[in-house]
Chain A
């Protein structure tokens, strides 16, 4: 077995016992990358030399100071929308091209100070806008379970890298499902924390009222460990919340007897693949066997979430992306005057989907349409949040599918933006309400593609969703299965 296959917690334990060095682990990961990356295409930038230096430093640190944290010497992949000091950051957009950040995002600074080794920057849909990683300005990433299929998006590169053992764990961001849906597509664990749990400082903004940083990992314990490392208040992000970060990894063990699970009927309707529904219902049955109490609930405004989301997210994006004007960084076209410089730089630098969303967002905010679209959507967002508030009076967690189908084929939805938007139907309402939610494997369809289940918690109740996920994972074989990329 290659060291690259190890989970974060296994690798950390073995590093602590001096069974191998961080250098050996990092080299094993790059060996794996050499074998599989030409087919998977998960990375936009590999940081080989720098990673080996970081690994050597981690080994030195361990010699001097035994008893350090679990991330010391662990190879981590980073979605390419996090600023990484002195390491090219593109957001998968030609408009950023060869941008070299002058500072680290807070989440990056945190894992680096914990000794993590950054392997490289992973592919995504340009500016995190998409559900398939096909909207990358450079190339699409493939699903390690079937190279003809999408890895999900927008954190498709991070999910594929974890699934293919091209890193030990990864960071991603989730605005409407961009961690959870690719995690489901690639058969791994993806966690979107509560809005405000992790600092967004240094994360390239898409829709600031919903963007959140989170881990993509091989199992639930890894998710808890990585969340512990990145969570907490940051003076540089005033929306990050100043409350104690629990020791998530030490709260996984308790049984789940009497945990009240709500199953919303609106998530089991037409449009949800039969095999997905069947696998999710079986998983709920397993939790019931372990003593959880299951109750059908209703979240009546669910069907309005996608429409409200694509108004709010595009409005925020049109504003956030106004900064790409070709003046201080990024691509600049040579044009006859200032206005032409702006319009031509942006026309050449942004891809189709980004332009589409900027147009949509500009329109819904424009004079005469603001009330009909943007204000209306913000009111519906209140209704959707109230749905969850009501539901959580009766239950501790809510369980749904993580995505309506398993990973679809490359090219299948790229010509139909509305169809693509609907692939986030299970994850979007959670971002609108700012709740934490985790996606984990719960089976495979007839084509051997992974199916994901979504566990949604109350605000800041990551401990409960991680615990239920862990208890489920320990009683099922799904997370131990690996894609067969050899040959």
Chain B
């Protein structure tokens, strides 16, 4: 296996995903097959190849640094799972 259970759990934590035991075992197998396929890239010598940066070489479009935000506070807050007046209400973040 390319990924041990321990590694899989570490990646899940980095990704902020809680996996069920069933998901852990199926993901381990699926990722193993996919990463195995990706090993194909190692057939290529890329020592002298520059990594890709951008598909199109165009000059950076610059614009003035001024506020152009249109949507109002209320419409942004309307989707909040929890709010208090004009604030987003979130779980306690300081221990």
Contacts and interface: CB of A to CB of B under 8 A. Distances in A.
Interface of A: 99-100, 102-103, 194-196, 209, 233, 235, 238-243, 301, 303-304, 306-308, 310-311, 318, 322, 325-332, 335, 337-344, 346-347, 350, 352, 355-356, 358-360, 362-363, 366, 373, 375-383, 385, 417-418, 421, 432-435, 459
Report, nearest first, the 3 A-B pairs whose CB atoms are least far apart.
A434-B55, A102-B75, A378-B51
A92 B20 CA distance: 22
Interface in B5-28: 8, 11-20, 23, 27
A330 B38 contact: no
B18 A344 contact: yes
B40 A304 contact: yes
A307 B34 CA distance: 8
B27 to A, nearest CB: 6
Given A331-B81, A355-B23, A341 B91 contact: yes
B56 A99 contact: no
B46 to A, nearest CB: 4
Contact of A362 (B14, B52, B90): B14
Contacts of B92: 337-338
A233 B61 contact: yes
B81 to A, nearest CB: 4
A242 B62 CA distance: 11
Nearest to B16: A342
Contacts, number: 168
Contacts of A352: 23
B71 interface: yes
Contacts of A350: 17
Given A307-B41, A310-B38, A359-B17, A235 B11 contact: no
Interface string B48-63: 0111101110101101
Nearest to B75: A102
B26 to A, nearest CB: 8
Given A242-B58, A356-B27, A338 B11 contact: no
Contacts of A195: 55-56
A329 B3 CA distance: 33
Interface residues of B, number: 54
Contacts of B75: 102
Chain A CB within 10 Å — which of B40, B91, B93 has the most? Answer: B91
B91 A459 contact: no
A243 to B, nearest CB: 8
A338 B56 contact: no
A328 B88 contact: yes
Given A102-B75, A366-B14, A380 B46 contact: yes
A307 B33 CA distance: 12
A196 B56 CA distance: 8
B76 to A, nearest CB: 6
Contact of B41 (A233, A239, A308): A308
Nearest to B28: A359
A341 B13 CA distance: 13
B79 interface: yes
Nearest to A321: B15
A311 B33 contact: no
B44 A304 contact: yes
A359 B18 contact: no
Contacts of B63: 235
Given A235-B61, A344-B18, A359-B27, A100 B55 contact: no
B25 to A, nearest CB: 13
Contact of A418 (B18, B34, B42): B34
Contacts of A382: 49-52
